[in-house]
Amino acid sequence: MTEWKSPTESSPNEFSAGSVHLWRIPLDQDDSATASARDLLTADENERYDRFKPAAIKRRFALARGGMRVILGRYLSSTPGSLEFRYGEQGKPSLAPEQNPAKLRFNLTHSHDLAILAVASDREVGVDVEHLRDNIEFEMLAARYFSPLEAEPLASLEGNELKRQFFRIWTAKEAYIKAIGQGLQIPLDQFDVAVGSEQQPNLLETRHAPEEQDRWSLHSFDCGDDYLGTLAIEKPASSPRFWLA
């Protein structure tokens, strides 16, 4: 069971090369919190906010981005609204080098009413969280996107066990893809993850790039009964610490 703790004022300072922190950001907050988060966003981010139509999507975007800015600002002793981001070819964000003497790496993911921010020191990182919904054709998606090694064991499962195992595999694959910054340029069936309910996931054969197999460690985590997540962190790295935003 993952234990999420409230941070102390010194928590972001307890950080060295190889450290990795996960922050849990609730996205079901009220209009006042959403307005405060919007005040931290840049003009470009507010334009993105305005383009969203459903009110829930707008709220979640503002709270996730605003929360990310507050947390990264704590690590860097910077004003949240002053942080500048750069984006890779596949959209993975990074901090402007002149604002990032600590060489922080980070990755943000959100699903439904929860966001998770992973922050690492001088290590690439990726994270994925998923809301455990039922309106999914699990076996069909597994056959389409998973490797045979991952998809075949799902055929013997059903109900809640099938759902949880599917999302354990899905989040592990997404976290890895996000960590390497390649998006869906790499088909999800071009690498294998071993995932069990009683063990941490493991990255197996990486057919698209064999050297990647030993570069990463994977860590699963839970956020209550309705969510599952996985962290991918570049080796060597310490065990993740879990904080409540």
Residue 240 reports pLDDT greater than 80: yes
Task: Give the DSSP H/E element, type plus range, for residue 228.
Answer: strand 227-234
Same CATH topology for 11-127 and 133-226: the answer is yes
Residues in the chain: 245
Question: 40: pLDDT confidence band, cut at 50, 70 and 90?
Answer: very high
Q: What percent of the chain has pLDDT over 90?
A: 82
Q: Which two tokens stand for residue 173?
A: 């694959």
Question: 120: pLDDT confidence band, cut at 50, 70 and 90?
Answer: very high
Whether the pTM exceeds 0.85: the reply is: yes
Tell me the pLDDT of the chain averaged across its residues. Answer: 93
- H helix runs in 125-221, sequence order: 138-145, 148-151, 159-180
Burial label for 43, CB within 10 Å (0-12, 13-18, 19+), is exposed
Dihedral sign (CA 223, 216, 110, 157): negative
Q: What is the pLDDT of residue 66?
A: 98
Q: In whole angstroms, what separates CA 38 from the centre of its chain?
A: 21
CB atoms within 10 A of CB 93: 13
Q: What is the pLDDT of residues 182-226, one digit of tens each?
A: 777 889 999 999 998 777 899 999 999 999 999 999 999 999 889
Q: Which two tokens stand for residue 101?
A: 């003497």
Q: Please name the fold of domain 133-226.
A: Ribosomal Protein L22; Chain A (3.90.470)
**Identity at 41, one-letter amino acid code:** L
Q: What is the pLDDT of residues 128-183, one digit of tens each?
A: 999 999 999 999 999 999 999 999 989 899 999 999 999 999 999 999 999 999 77
Which CATH superfamily groups domain 11-127?
Answer: 4'-phosphopantetheinyl transferase domain (3.90.470.20)
Ordered by start, the domain boundaries in the chain are 11-127, 133-226
Mean pLDDT of 78-94: 91
**What span, in angstroms and rounded, lies between the C-alpha atoms of 117 and 125?**
10
Residue 162 contacts residue 141 (beta carbons within 8 Å): no
Token look-up 């964000």 returns 93
**Identity at 107, one-letter amino acid code:** N
